[in-house]
Amino acid sequence: MTSDPKFERRAFLLGSAGALAASTLEPAVAQTSEPKPLPAYVNWKDPKAFIVHSDQTLEMKRDLFGTSLITPEDRLFIRNNVKPPPESIAADRDAWRVEFAGVKQPKTFTLGELKRLGVVTVATVLQCSGNGRKFFMDELKGDQKMSGTPWTVGAAGCVIWSGVPLKAVVDALGGPIAGMKFITGTGGEEIPAGLNPKDLVVERSVPLSNLDTVILAWEMNGKPISVAHGGPLRMVVPGYSGVNNVKYVKTVALTVEQTDARIQSANYRFHKMGEKPAPNQPAVWEQPVKSWITSPTTSQKPGLLQVTGLAFGGMNPVAHVDVSVDGGKTWVRAKFIGPDLGRFAWRMFTLPVTLKPGDYTLVSRATDSKGATQPETTPLNGSGYGHNGWRSPGVKITVA
Ligand SMILES: Nc1nc2c(c(=O)[nH]1)N[C@H]1C(S)=C(S)[C@@H](COP(=O)(O)O)O[C@H]1N2
Ligand SMILES: [Mo]
């Protein structure tokens, strides 16, 4: 890195010749191959935006995060644990029914009725618990194995939700019954006959301490939430990883125990490599502090350029981000750009750098308001959840 203006001009002139050479080295694949078709339930999305791991797992491409903060719905990643419900559940959105239990006056509300109880708007990072699993997989040795989708960074987005605060609903129903410790939300997928519902139901419990922040959302980025992303109504737990944000929520119960549904008891647990998941292991709940570079992701001409990225603190605001172009040997503080949409949203950052011809590894390291910083590597866990190490998502580029 240098800020010598004389060098910058020379590097720029050299750069235009160098760029030709560099572009001939780029693999031709990206432009010529047809993207894999999207499954029917998301055929309204931009097919060029995704790495299609399967019909139930669509990852957004890394160069599409942009710098204007909000992830458009047609690019937002998709993750379904079971087959999503039909579009017809949103034919009459306001008629969608949600049952409330664990409160003094249990009741079923329609969405139309819920809308009358309160409305708030909150921006959150929606990120699959397994985002970054690919980086764990790359570290496996010997006969170590890990199953799951090999997400890199694209199972994440920052979106704006509008909905009713759960607290307003609970208050309207006389408050929690004494002794309740969890908020348990149940997804509205139909469980095929003959299968054990406990094995398939998307039912998640989060600590009752989230009562002041959980919302039941009907709107995302200014539109009624698509069924693919959880419409007509979604339970949003700000700061918590993807799985806890139950789509097409049909029951919200305050409960003494966590649900014994498989998705809570055996899946989404932090367990050691080779150890079986069990309900006494830590649940995948709060997201840790994290960041990654979003641009550039390809080779560049020499001279001045903007290294951009995004950072978030999970439950806490992100305080600052350091960027390195030499793979973590030296760091420079980046500048936040754009609006601050609150502690659950991500922030975009930029660092202007002037690069001479050579090879660079761009990495970023965020610190939250409580002083928690991304580790260089995240200790391995058996299912590959919660990756937030700064080294592996690094971007290698050639400047020529
Ligand atoms: N009802 C229901 N809610 C769900 C899921 C699901 O399969 N069914 N998947 C969860 C998981 S694992 C993730 S990462 C997010 C994905 O949200 P998205 O598909 O809107 O991006 O939804 C969560 N909520
Ligand atoms: Mo997920």
Alpha helices (H) in 195-290, listed in sequence order? 197-200, 262-265
The ligand 1 atom at the shortest distance from the C-alpha of residue 129 is: 14
Test site for ligand 1: of 42, 54, 57, 79, most ligand atoms within 8 A of the Cβ: 79
pLDDT at 317: 98
Helix, strand, coil in percent for the chain, rounding step 5: 20, 30, 50
Are 345 and 158 in contact by the 8 Å Cβ rule? The answer is: yes
pLDDT at 9: 35
pLDDT at 36: 78
Ligand 1 atom 12 nearest Cα: 243
**Distance (Å, rounded) from C-alpha 36 to C-alpha 136?**
26
CA of 239 to the centre of ligand 2 (A): 14
Q: Which ligand lies nearest the alpha carbon of 251?
A: 1
pLDDT at 27: 39
Test site for ligand 1: of 83, 89, 225, 245, most ligand atoms within 8 A of the Cβ: 245
CA of 229 to the centre of ligand 2 (A): 12
The ligand 1 atom at the shortest distance from the C-alpha of residue 229 is: 20
Beta-sheet strand order (sheet of 395-399): 332-333, 318-324, 358-368, 395-399
**Burial group, residue 79, by CB count within 10 angstroms (0-12, 13-18, 19+):** buried
Ligand 1 atom 9 nearest Cα: 80
The ligand 1 atom at the shortest distance from the C-alpha of residue 82 is: 7
pLDDT at 30: 46
pLDDT at 266: 94
**Distance (Å, rounded) from C-alpha 340 to C-alpha 178?**
37
pLDDT at 17: 35
CA of 221 to the centre of ligand 1 (A): 17
pLDDT at 164: 99
The ligand 1 atom at the shortest distance from the C-alpha of residue 248 is: 1
CA of 119 to the centre of ligand 2 (A): 27
**Distance (Å, rounded) from C-alpha 117 to C-alpha 248?**
19
For ligand 1, which residues put their CB under 6 angstroms from it? Answer: 76-82, 126, 128, 187, 189, 202, 229-230, 242-243, 245-248
Test site for ligand 1: of 89, 191, 243, 249, most ligand atoms within 8 A of the Cβ: 243
3-class SS of residue 166: helix
Is the Cα dihedral 189, 193, 195, 197 positive or negative? positive
CA of 155 to the centre of ligand 2 (A): 8
**Distance (Å, rounded) from C-alpha 324 to C-alpha 336?**
16
Q: Which ligand lies nearest the alpha carbon of 42?
A: 1
User: Tens of pLDDT along the chain (400 residues)?
Assistant: 333 333 333 333 333 333 333 333 333 444 446 677 899 999 999 999 999 999 999 999 999 999 999 999 999 999 999 999 999 999 999 999 999 999 999 999 999 999 999 999 999 999 999 999 999 999 999 999 999 999 999 999 999 999 999 999 999 999 999 999 999 999 999 999 999 999 999 999 999 999 999 999 999 999 999 999 999 999 999 999 999 999 999 999 999 999 999 999 999 999 999 899 999 999 999 999 999 999 999 999 999 999 999 999 999 999 999 999 999 999 999 999 999 999 999 999 999 999 999 999 999 999 999 999 999 999 999 999 999 999 999 999 999 9
Test site for ligand 1: of 51, 58, 80, most ligand atoms within 8 A of the Cβ: 80
Ligand 1 atom 6 nearest Cα: 80
pLDDT at 115: 98
CA of 131 to the centre of ligand 1 (A): 13
Query: How is residue 22 written in tokens?
Result: 């560099």
CB neighbours of 3 closer than 8 A, spacing ≥ 6? Answer: 354
Shortest CA distance to 240 belongs to which of 201, 182, 320, 167?
182
CA of 273 to the centre of ligand 2 (A): 19
Which residues pair with residue 183 across a beta bridge? 206, 254
CA of 242 to the centre of ligand 2 (A): 5
> Which amino acid is located at 127 in the chain?
Q
Query: How is residue 61 written in tokens?
Result: 């491409």
CA of 32 to the centre of ligand 2 (A): 31
